Amino acid sequence: MNTQAVPSAAAAVAPSDVVRRVADDAVEIAAVLAGRCMASQTRPLSTLAGHPIRVAVASELVQQQMLERARDTSEVLRQFADRRWWAIFDSAADQLEQWVDHGVLDLALATASACGGLPPRRVERGILGVTRHLRRLPEILAAQAPGGRLTAFRDGVSGTSWSWRPAGRMCAIRVPGNFPTMAVEWLQVLGARRPVVVITSDDDPVVSCLIAAALYGAGLPSDALSVCHGSAVTVWRGADQLVWPGEDVPSGVAVNRVKTYHFGRSKAILLPDGAEPETWQRLNRLAFAGSGRLCTNLSSLAVIGDQHDAAAAARKLAFAFSAIPPLDLDDPAARVPAWPQIDGAKAVEASIKREIAAGAVDVTQEVMNVPLLLERNGQTFLRPTVLLTGPESPLFGTELPFPFVAVASVARDEVLAAVRNSLIVSVLDANGSDIELLETLAAEPTISKVFAGDHFDRGYEPIDPHEGYLSDFLFQKKPVLTGIVEPRALYTP
């Protein structure tokens, strides 16, 4: 074991080191190698029109250095006293808030918006959401530790007959560019005292670097965290463990080394008389949270009843949608994302129009009389959409990266088939009477969370198992019998 003293932190990294203007008013986004910003090689990104942005490229050699440095600091992180360790995350949260309050992040927010299409104000709100996660990390990780003991992340003591040990010395994590709060995934891994190499998406190469800068300024050892951009094949192939978004695991990675996450297809079930006056605004918030780009967003609503019931529900939801129209991204009230890649927007538009040609109804069009595809000031939007269709439609249960909900009538005995393969199924039952349905949903292996009653719009709560607990992947239980201390008996013959 490495018994060296806990090293001093890396030199402070400022937001202007992460995102900076270069020649011809272009913007350059650095990578972070073990506490240092670097951008010796760059490549252009496809962004919103009028925003020339380049992102750092980490060579194979640099990626290998990221892996090796992370492995070398694995034991170092386990030597931190708990109070000092959690103080790093608290201080980083303070720093991020100060940067927001003082306007230090204006260029970074505009750059993140140009890369992924989120309004800058939404990026800022997402970063503030990250600060709340940073402060809650002890609570989040205690929920995942044996007996709720945070010290288990350091010493492996479980209080039972087995030892709890890391399943690898470092972990690489691919972060999708959906919304800044996606960083909570890699923050949990780092909080569990596992060195991390973050691989960003071209839709958001900014936020993870900003969080890294705040952590380094708060005292994180320089080899504990690196951030690279793009494909980073050397990193994900060479990592001890890999956390990967979506269901398509990259080739060349052993199944036992990878955990997938962030495919939601979350749905709701509306029982007869299950809606109350405030239900539609609550469903609206579920659909628009994170600008409609979260795995917990409502993607489909199954209405138990006939087509008339489904049409009535779709219309009420569409009226709620109409209160949040697409606005210029710089408008402080903007919540609808733009599409940096226009071809992607047109492809989604075409898939929706195919369903309409096959008999689906664009209920939002009837309510708002606004085209599905909009272009404003060089920005391309898809108007938030409620589509009345059938449960057999390929768009029922599809997760799209903007506020979109497919509504369908479903018979009571067919509802389970309609809502399978969901991260969340929310049951709207004002009377709380259908206990049998709740039990059936909870027993379905392809459904991860079931919420009902006053909790139907719980969404993401970081102490809940979310596609399982990360610690179940990061650590393994090992019987360790030395002959010096007898293991605790599990049962008496």
pLDDT tens digit string along 231-261?
999 999 999 999 999 878 888 888 889 999 8
Same domain assignment for residues 251 and 292: no
Residue 11 confidence class, pLDDT cut points 50, 70, 90: low
**Nearest C-alpha neighbor of 478 from the set 152, 227, 236:** 152
Amino acid residing at 369: N
- On whether residue 383 sits in a domain, the answer given is yes
Are 186 and 56 within one domain? yes
Residues 254 and 278 in one domain: no
The three-state secondary structure class of 164 is strand
**Strand spans (E) along 339-445:** 361-362, 373-376, 379-382, 385-388, 404-410, 422-428
Query: Does residue 463 sit within a domain?
Result: no
Do 281 and 248 share a structural domain?
no
Residue 399 forms part of a structural domain: yes
- Between the two ends of the chain, the Cα-to-Cα distance in Å is 39
Position 77, amino acid: L
Residues 6+ apart with CB under 8 A from 391: 302, 408, 410, 414, 417, 418
Looking at residue 484, its pLDDT comes to 57
Same structural domain, 342 and 411: yes
331 and 398 assigned to the same domain: yes
Give the number of domains in the chain: 2
Whether residue 244 is contained in a domain is answered as yes
CATH of the domain at 237: 3.40.605.10
482: in domain: no
Q: Is 486 part of any domain?
A: no
pLDDT digits (tens, 9 = 90+) for 44-53: 998 887 789 9
CA 45 to mean position of chain CA atoms: 22
Please identify, among 198, 233, 261, the residue that sits at the C-terminal boundary of a domain: 261
Same domain, 272 and 206: no
Q: Are residues 255 and 272 in the same domain?
A: no
- List the CATH number of the domain containing 344: 3.40.309.10
**Is there a domain that residue 481 lies in?**
no
pTM of the complete model = 0.92
Q: Which of 226, 244, 261 is the last residue of a domain?
A: 261
Quick one: pLDDT at residue 483? 63
CA–CA gap between residue 430 and residue 275 (Å, rounded):
6
Is 211 found in the same domain as 63? yes
Pair 312, 432 in one domain: yes
Is the model more confident about 361 or about 483? 361
Q: What's the domain range around 299?
A: 267-455
Residue 389 has pLDDT above 50, yes or no: yes
The residue count of the chain comes to 493
Instruction: For residue 265, give both structure tokens.
Output: 């297809």
Q: Which amino acid is at 221?
A: P
CA dihedral over 349, 350, 353, 354, signed as positive or negative: negative
Residues 313 and 435 in one domain: yes
> Which of 202, 234, 261 represents a domain boundary (last residue)?
261
Quick one: 209 and 279 in the same domain? Answer: no
For residue 478, being part of any structural domain is answered with: no
